[in-house]
Amino acid sequence: MLLELNDVSVSYGRIEALHGISLTVNEGEVVALIGANGAGKTTTMRAISGTRALSGGRITFDGEDISKLRADLRVVRGLCQSPEGRQIFPGMTVLENLDMGAYTRRDHAGIAADLEKVLELFPRLRERRKQAGGTLSGGEQQMLAVGRALMSRPKLLLLDEPSMGLAPMIIQQIFDIIVEINQQGTTVLLVEQNAQQALSRAHRAYVLETGRIVKEGTGQDLLHDPSIKEAYLGVA
């Protein structure tokens, strides 16, 4: 088991947003967390990446309790998030943005090899490597954010709403690449409102409702579950 959340709670002031959630991610998996607006998906990601403190429970990563570990030290241990809203550096070129992803690393040969891999995964980024990040389209910026996260060579890649705001064809491409990244050996935990795509691509998934996990199963099981169909897939 690579990641384990055990009875994790998170509060914003007096308001508890996560009420004791438990989930696991095994090495080699793509795991999806789906849920409606405000269900607590982003808060779960913040708890895992360390940008929001826990009010209860425990998070274990790679055999170590990281519940109180600083966010930057979690990155060094191999936990890297590509944030919602992309947050690339708009004034820096594509290559400079990718370099920033490797800031915790010192193995120059490894960094160069990974850069080549990322540019192979995303030919669009290679074409635009000298362009400022801020001039890219939404889909390209999303690719850049994912590419930058990969440059830290994560053991676990956290993706927050990779399809947000993108056209259907670009969403397909992004998910194709997520599957490819996984097949090349990176474990992925992704949060998505696009339940159809997330469930059809994930090995396993969890459904979050108002701060609680209400269902879990294989992607395929949940995709065919009548209550999930009705609530998240727009099929009655």
Which residues here bind ligand ATP, judged by CB under 6 A?
12, 15, 17, 35, 37-43, 193
Cβ proximity to ligand ATP, 60 vs 193, nearer residue: 193
CB 6 to ligand ATP: min, Å? 19
Cβ proximity to ligand ATP, 36 vs 95, nearer residue: 36
Cβ proximity to ligand ATP, 42 vs 97, nearer residue: 42
Helix (H, G, I), strand (E, B) or coil at 3: strand
CB 228 to ligand ATP: min, Å? 16
Angle between helices 168-183 and 108-121 (to 10 degrees): 140
CB 131 to ligand ATP: min, Å? 29
CB 31 to ligand ATP: min, Å? 16
CB 161 to ligand ATP: min, Å? 7
Cβ proximity to ligand ATP, 33 vs 118, nearer residue: 33
CA 144 centroid distance within chain: 14
CB under 8 Å to 205, separation ≥6 — which residues?
31, 32, 33, 34, 198, 199, 216, 217, 218, 219, 222
**Cα-based distances in Å from 216 to 96, 110, 125, 212, 229:** 39, 37, 36, 11, 14
| Structural contact between residues 29 and 39, judged by C-beta atoms closer than 8 angstroms | no
Cβ proximity to ligand ATP, 151 vs 174, nearer residue: 174
Measured on CA atoms in the order 221, 227, 231, 233, is the torsion positive or negative?
Answer: positive
